[in-house]
Chain A
Amino acid sequence: MVNSTVFAPWEDPGQTPLIRIENVTKRFGDFTAIDDVSIDIYTREFFALLGPSGCGKTTLMRMLAGFETPSEGRITIDGKDMAGVPPNKRAVNMMFQSYALFPHLTVWDNIAFGLRRDRMDKDRVAARVEEMLKLTQLQKFAKRKPHQISGGQRQRVALARSLAKAPKLLLLDEPLGALDKKLREETQFELMEIQEKTGTTFVIVTHDQEEAMTVASRVAVMNHGKLVQVDTPERIYEAPKSVYVADFIGDVNLIEGLVASVGELAELTWAEGKAPLIGQSGASLKAGDEAVFAIRPEKIAISREEPEARNRVRGKIVDIGYLGNLSVYHVQLPDGSYMKCEVGNRSRVSRRDYTWEDEVWLSWTDTAGLVLPS
């Protein structure tokens, strides 16, 4: 995020959040879909609800839209309690995963649909629709029916339709799920641009961590109906508070052990006769606790000579994955476990430095890894 250094209303106690989700629980019969979740979302935020399928993120979004009511707790939008307010009376619009475009209406009429419900006069409807068509570059397709345009265009129609009423809050349910990878990446940046242009608060539901990291100002990671961590993408990635988050977002090497000491840095003993691993202490831990050392593959250096760093392990290369921009080395440690190490391919080398079966050292700095409660 470009503007995350300046845009951080959640750190300003003087700011009032646009949306407050307070101790919300949702049960369907015996099943608890949402378990005591509290989140504050601020105006102009691009907020991502991230988690595996069935984690409750969609239910939470549907409660914001008004399609579900909380079993317990309270949702306020712009200071107003939303209890009992039906979807058509909320200043909230939703972009559906299936896009839910009306097949009997043209692109133009789909976008105008919500405006007409407000009994807006014809000229203003037309002006607003044209504005939306321009924003989403759909002018050429205004007269087509949804089945006459491509998937990417349909996605933009759905976006234009949900933005037409200038909602205070726009909900996006897996908005890019149906697009292929390349189009998805382009559209992510388009979404961010549109969000900035319109100044609308966006809440996006996704199971794609890359997507959440790319677009969001803050990411809420959910699992089994519970909120695991809410933070900026950088902090979610660099300072996950649990093994679950560290593992869910990106690639990570996890080493189990016991906490030897905690201070500025924590030490973790992990194998007989090996020096303890040193890393930042992720959460409240005390000596003797079982813990997990988490280290991202790209933070590990690979070398033939024994390095200076305190965190170093020796192993044998068993597999090399060449991904173009980087190479991934799978290294087997003497105890049989594996570690992944990523090295950027910054120059075009015809000759590899390391090859299969090579004995190498892996090392990383004291602050590169995290000691997390297991």
Chain B
Amino acid sequence: MKRLFTVIPYAWLIVLFLVPFAIVFKISLSDYAVSIPPYAPTLDIAGGWQAVKDFLGELDFENYVFLTEDALYWKAYLSSLKIAAISTVLTLLVGYPIAYGMARAPEAWRPTLMMLVILPFWTSFLIRVYAWIGILATEGLLNQFLLWIGIIDAPLGLLNTPTAVYIGIVYTYLPFMILPIYAALDRLDPSLLEAAEDLGCSRTTAFWTVTVPLSRPGVIAGCFLVFIPAVGEVVIPSLLGGSDTLMIGKILWEEFFSNRDWPVASAVATILLLILVVPIVLFQRQQQAAREAEQ
């Protein structure tokens, strides 16, 4: 029985991650073809051993070579990493004060505040991003409001700019930043801050020397939880970003659905995964280190 429970997660991983990934990887080694499915070769098991051999012989890394030849791809990867990094920092800057405020709020309010942070998850992500179009458009709510209070004379062109993408990512991933930081701050023993003050810290230095280092595990977890999905983000740059917002998720989408070039799209996806493996491994390591430190 116990063994069964350890097998389930592995089975899950194999069926839902490794097998699909193997298929994607295999397609990335194939060639584009006008057929169904739109790539060649396809394996015909009925042909026996010879067929398998022929099949393997036709696989190559051409698509990966292609990716290095066209500047569009590596630019898109770099741009995605940059946008994800900047968004992560912005989310941290917005999320930390919110988490801090929640942890400092009276005990009775905290469940409500927590609820408010989680509440947006109850609506479709897509609808929420669409709502931002209504807010950021030239005739949108934000421009109307700013014009009304007289801060600006002409509407701001926010929609279809990188700014809109940042706003979208920060908005969407904010709860992933707030919750781990809040968890870390909530565990912080308030007498530690009193001890810091007692030993000569002002409130501000106590914050930087005690609160910040002790909330670091939460900050790191939050940053990874925002950064990793933000790199591959498709919907937000498609809906809010303009044609000049280059993100690899968008490229992937276009290769797959517009160009119907499955092999190249699969190569793009494989490289994206390899790029993300690095932060994911780092994240796992940090999580483990944090767990060990707590014991």
The answer on a CB contact under 8 Å between A114 and B200 is yes
> How many B residues are at the interface, by size bracket?
10 to 19
Question: Which residues of A84-133 have CB atoms within 8 Å of chain B's CB atoms?
Answer: 86-88, 92-94, 96-98, 100-104, 113-114, 117-118
Nearest A residue to B205 via CB reads: A117
Chain A residues closer than 8 Å to B213, beta-carbon distance: 104
The answer on a CB contact under 8 Å between B214 and A86 is no
Interface-central residue, A65, A86, A102, by most chain B CB under 10 Å: A102
Q: How far is the CB of B14 from chain A (nearest CB, A)?
A: 38
Question: Which residues of A343-367 have CB atoms within 8 Å of chain B's CB atoms?
Answer: none
Known: A102-B210, A104-B214. A113 touches B194 (CB 8 A): no
Q: How far is the CB of B209 from chain A (nearest CB, A)?
A: 8
Count residues of chain A with CB under 8 A from any CB of chain B: 24
A218 at the interface (CB under 8 A from B): no
Partner of B199, one of A67, A93, A103: A93
Nearest A residue to B206 via CB reads: A88
A165 at the interface (CB under 8 A from B): yes
Question: Which residues of B177-197 have CB atoms within 8 Å of chain A's CB atoms?
Answer: 189, 191-192, 194-197
Known: A98-B189, A102-B210, A104-B213. A88 touches B195 (CB 8 A): no
B201 at the interface (CB under 8 A from A): yes
The answer on a CB contact under 8 Å between B214 and A113 is no
Q: How far is the CB of A209 from chain B (nearest CB, A)?
A: 25
A57 at the interface (CB under 8 A from B): no
CA distance A113 to B295 in the complex (A): 24
The answer on a CB contact under 8 Å between A88 and B201 is yes
A161 at the interface (CB under 8 A from B): yes
B202 at the interface (CB under 8 A from A): yes
Nearest A residue to B195 via CB reads: A100
Nearest B residue to A103 via CB reads: B214
Q: How far is the CB of B165 from chain A (nearest CB, A)?
A: 36
The answer on a CB contact under 8 Å between B199 and A161 is yes
Interface string of B210-227 (1 = CB under 8 A from A): 100110000000000000
Binding site for A on B (CB under 8 A): 189, 191-192, 194-202, 205, 209-210, 213-214, 293, 295
A sample of 8 cross-chain residue pairs with beta-carbon separation below 8 angstroms, ordered by A number, consists of A87-B197, A88-B198, A96-B195, A98-B191, A101-B195, A104-B214, A118-B200, A162-B198
Binding site for B on A (CB under 8 A): 65, 67, 86-88, 92-94, 96-98, 100-104, 113-114, 117-118, 147, 161-162, 165
Extra A-B contacts (19), CB below 8 Å, given A88-B200, A100-B191, A147-B295: A67-B197, A87-B197, A88-B198, A88-B199, A88-B201, A88-B202, A93-B198, A94-B194, A96-B191, A100-B189, A100-B194, A100-B195, A101-B195, A102-B192, A103-B214, A114-B199, A114-B200, A117-B200, A162-B198
